[in-house]
Amino acid sequence: MILLLPLGSRASEHTDLPEWAAKELDQAHDSLANWVDYSARSLDGLLGTQESLRVENDSYLRITQQASWEESDDPETELNLRFKLDLPTSEERLRLLIESDPEESLGTLAEQGSDRQFSPELSNSNTTIGVDKLTSDDPRRHWNYRLGGGIKLKLPLDTYVRATGERIWALSQSPWELRSYNRLSWFKSDGYSARSHWDLSRPLTDNREFRSYSRLQWQETEDTLEFSQRFEVAQPLSNRSHLRHGVIVIGESLSSPRVEDYYLQSWYRRDIHRGRLFLDLIPELHFDRDSDFEPRWAVTLRLELFLRKSISR
């Protein structure tokens, strides 16, 4: 079960927690974040340069506890741990990366659904360790490419190689911004896969933004081209709360498109404490082909503890 801490009578502008709970959380966060940061920088220092002590590091540890309710199903609770050790200063613009959940392990787009829950495909056997070769190109001016390779930490060891390209276009006389993310991967156990993301956004008013997320995905193990399309309107409710409403369509085959799932979703996110502890409340309606597109409701409630140390300058 998810435990929600009571609100304090003197909640500040940075927290909803009572003073004693905020103090305990800060101490736990600082200890764990320091350990994650120290581990990454120590390893980076062995492989790279002394700059590892001074540059920003994208290493993090994310702990989530969630409860979900779906129509006609029993309630479910789940505890998840995700991590990434990012080593950015290795020589010759190489980056050593250790992560628990590479996107190749997230399953099909249908299995990922509306993203309200973490993919059931995630497990300890999905942890990868590899090296990426970086380019210094600004994605707002040129394509930014990364080439990488490594192994998945399971027996027998599963080798992989992948190439990633990113680009951002922002028209100077237009409010529209377009982002493109593309990846081609090969894993010894699963063969080839390809993913392409195209994200389009623009402000609607001073406090509302329109966003469009288009996804294409092909996996050799599935041998079908999948697509998903999300349209949403997002707005801040305060400096620590955000709400977005969206419509999601998931299907397969572009030559003869076949829609498998529709979702109507609202997503409320609250920064409970100083960008470290978050609350998500996600109600939705799911219309799927197997149920003749009869609506089924679902609700997810999630607490997320995000551990990452920033450099004080």
For the cut 70, the answer to whether the pLDDT of residue 54 exceeds it is: no
Please indicate whether residue 121 or residue 103 has the higher confidence score (pLDDT). Answer: 103
Helix (H, G, I), strand (E, B) or coil at 29: helix
Tally the C-alpha atoms within 13 A of residue 142's C-alpha that lie toward its C-beta: 6
Position 308, amino acid? R
User: If you average pLDDT over residues 134-162, what whole number do you get?
Assistant: 88
The ranges assigned to domains in the chain are 19-307
**Are 40 and 71 spatial neighbours (Cβ–Cβ below 8 Å)?**
no
Task: Give CA–CA dist 284/267, Å, rounded.
Answer: 9
What is the model's pLDDT at position 3? 44
Residue indicated by tokens 């991967």 = 185
What is the model's pLDDT at position 125? 66
Helix %, strand %, coil % of the chain (to 5): 15, 50, 35
**Domain range 19-307, CATH architecture:** Beta Barrel (2.40)
Q: What is the percent of the chain with per-residue pLDDT over 70, rounded to a whole number?
A: 82
What Cα–Cα distance (Å) separates residue 275 from each residue in 16, 46, 58, 145?
Answer: 12, 31, 15, 30
User: If you average pLDDT over residues 80-108, what whole number do you get?
Assistant: 75
**Polymer length in residues for the chain:** 313
Q: In the structure, what pLDDT confidence band is assigned to residue 102 with cuts at 50, 70 and 90?
A: confident
What is the model's pLDDT at position 160? 95
**Are 76 and 299 spatial neighbours (Cβ–Cβ below 8 Å)?**
no
What is the model's pLDDT at position 121? 45
User: If you average pLDDT over residues 197-208, what whole number do you get?
Assistant: 94
Task: Give CA–CA dist 313/310, Å, rounded.
Answer: 9
What is the model's pLDDT at position 7? 44
Task: List phi, psi (to 5°) of 206.
Answer: -65, -25
> Helices in 79-206 by DSSP H: which ranges?
109-112
